[in-house]
Amino acid sequence: MRSLIGAAALLSGLTPLASAAKLTQVTSGWDNPTKLSFFIYVPDKLAAKPPVVVAPHPCGGSAQDTFGRVASGLAPQADKLGFILIFPQTPNTCWDCNTAKSLKHDGGGDTQGIVNMVKYTLEKYSADASRVYVTGSSSGGMATNALVATYPDVFAAGASFSGASAFACWNGAGLFTNSADCQLNKKPTAQQWGDLVRSAYPGFNGTRPAMQIWHGTTDTVVAYSYLADQLAQWSNVLGVPFARNVTNDPLNGYTKMVYGDGTKVVGYSAQGVGHIVPFREKEVLQFFGLL
């Protein structure tokens, strides 16, 4: 994951927002086991029960630059539709997606810290607990996988862009003896991939979050093969087989990979795109059911 350092530097800030709302930091009132920072964007006019969208940053990034990267697309939609945006920030270079603390429900890791931000937001703003979503790029995409796996009771859906591996690939224990096993050496079955997710919260029998996954074919930072690994994992977890490809969707050179009826698992292969696939707020918000 250290090879991802500086990935956020490739992402430029975008046009400032016209709204009076701004990104602000929450410094107290929530349990913070791994000393994360919590930034929030609350529109001037909220929906009666506002949805919540969480956006963890890439390696080497921050809440502020991730806000800048997605602000021209997400913030105007938040203003229009009245949903809340959470931008967590780790004091480390990348999110912890490889230790038992973050790979287990209520394990005390980064994933629990981010979920505590969500719980704070749900209570303070009377937000809709049934409409909580997460989307991130690179390490933020990996964190997206970790959050929907460990907290299927919190998140309704996730969208991972150029994420570094399927859930628990980097855990260094159990199925994999080291991170290289899941990257290059071993190719788990879809069932094995799915079992890793199910083991994150043993006994959970509710509805699992839907997953949308994006990856560029010429990504030299995170292996393109991770797209297939993630799709195998989530199609198994959600019980939906591959159904069809749709070419040139949403752009020329992109291929949309539909599983089942497309409401639970969808992948996007971006031909000729490197690290990181540009954020697509329309497709993400439509998948989340917010548009």
Give the whole-angstrom CA distance, residue 100 versus residue 58: 21
Adjacency order of strands within the sheet including 84-89 = 23-26, 37-41, 84-89, 52-54, 132-137, 157-161, 210-216, 265-270, 254-259, 242-247
From 163, 34, 53, select the one nearest 96 (Cα to Cα): 34
Active site residue 138: yes
Residue 35 region, left (φ>0) first, then alpha (ψ -120 to 50), else beta? Answer: left
Give the whole-angstrom CA distance, residue 75 versus residue 154: 22
Q: CA-based angle 52:264:267, to the nearest 5?
A: 95
Query: Which residue in 138, 139, 160, 269 is the catalytic one?
Result: 138
Residue 253 region, left (φ>0) first, then alpha (ψ -120 to 50), else beta? Answer: left
Q: Please give the C-alpha separations between residue 26 and each of 31, 45, 103, 121, 141, in angstroms, as whole numbers.
A: 12, 19, 25, 10, 23
Whether the Cβ atoms of residue 9 and residue 226 lie closer than 8 Å to each other = no
Give the whole-angstrom CA distance, residue 187 versus residue 178: 13
| Residue 84, strand partner residues | 52
Neighbours of 119 (CB within 10 A): 16
Phi, psi of 61 (to 5 degrees): -95, -170
Whether the Cβ atoms of residue 214 and residue 276 lie closer than 8 Å to each other = no
Catalytic residues: 138
